Amino acid sequence: MFGAQGTGDTSGYGGLARTAASTGSSERPYGSYFDEVADDLERAYPMFSEAIERVVVDRGELTLHVKREKLMEVSKILRDSLKFEMCMGVSGVNYPADAGRELHAVYPLLSLTNNRRIRLEVSVPDLDPHIPSVVEVWAGNNWHERETYDMFGIIFDGHPGLTRILMPDDWQGHPQRKDYALGGIPVEYKGATTPPPNERRSYK
């Protein structure tokens, strides 16, 4: 449990290189209601094996890794046939080491009818960060997609107004990407400039 790995830097300011391994596919039976969800989806959606890259069951949660081309079809079927009426938003995760799949978008879904939860995950390369917007399926994802665009630069095609939501409109870069250093911008106040924290001497 203890023991330094890698550089051993614990301050967080040393540019610690970190990688996150993606877990492999899970085997059936998945347990709980997950088999039923997978069966229902396969029945309602014949292209299941083409659209779903991996099915992962980890810590009692089901994740369907969906190809981005099929996201809209899968979303509509999950909402209409499998009664996942609510999408609890989308959040991005940046895995710089996962070549070709650097940016992940994670959608937690909730079914009020069946009292179930599953998760969709879509991964796209850094160089082509486009994912179809699910706003027309779950209107409440509007702001969540804007936030994910703001923080990760994932472009949600078909979004009614994809603009920055938390950062200022003219901000450069996407702060939650791993290559974006924690720091900030120099602040000028009454003629004196305070450098961002990562450029102050004590943190070097």
Partner 1 sequence: MTTFDPYAPSRDTTEGTVYSVTGGDWDSLVQEIGSTKEERVVVNMGPQHPSTHGVLRLVLELEGETVTEARAGIGYLHTGIEKNMEYRNWTQGTTFVTRMDYLAPLFNETAYCLAVEKLLGITQDVPERATVIRVMMMELNRISSHMVALGTGALELGAISPMFFAFRERETVLDIFEMISGLRMNMAYVRPGGVAQDLPDGAIPKIRDAVKLMRKNFKDNTTLLVGNSIWMKRTQGIGYLDLAGCTTLGITGPVLRSTGLPWDLRKMQPYCGYENYNFDVITADTCDVYGRFLIRMNELEQSLRIVEQALDKLEKLEGAPVMVADKKIAWPAQLAMGGDGLGNSLNHIREIMGTSMESLIHHFKLVTEGFHVPAGQVYVAIESPRGELGAQVVSDGGTKPYRMHFREPSFNNLQATSAMSEGGMVADIIGAVASIDPVMGGVDR
Phi, psi (deg, nearest 5) at residue 39: -60, -50
Among positions 35, 89, 101, 155, the unique one binding partner 1 when judged by CB under 8 A: 89
Of 44, 54, 68, 91, the one binding partner 1 (CB under 8 A) is: 91
Q: What is the rounded CA–CA span in Å between residue 191 and residue 36?
A: 65
Binding flags for partner 1, 43-82, as an x/- string (CB under 8 A): ---------------xxxx-x-------------------
Distance CA 14, CA 5 (A): 14
Q: Which of 80, 156, 137, 141 is nearest to 107 (CA)?
A: 141
**Minimum CB–partner distance for residue 133 and partner 1 (Å):** 14
Site for partner 1 contains 133 (CB under 8 A): no
Minimum CB distance to partner 1 smaller for 19 or for 42: 19
Pairing of strands 103-111, 91-94: antiparallel
Among 33, 86, 96, 155, binds partner 1 (CB under 8 A): 86
Q: How many Å apart are CA 52 and CA 57, to the nearest integer? A: 14
Q: Which of 74, 87, 94, 99 is nearest to 154 (CA)?
A: 94
Residue 115 found at the interface with partner 1 (CB under 8 A): yes
Candidates 40, 68, 85, 101; binder of partner 1 (CB under 8 A) is 85
Is the separation of the CB atoms in 152 and 174 below 8 Å? yes
Residues at the site binding partner 1, with contacts judged by CB under 8 A? 1-2, 4-5, 10, 12-13, 18-21, 23, 58-61, 63, 85-89, 91, 93-94, 106, 108, 110, 112, 115, 117, 119, 138-144, 147, 151, 164-168, 175-176, 182
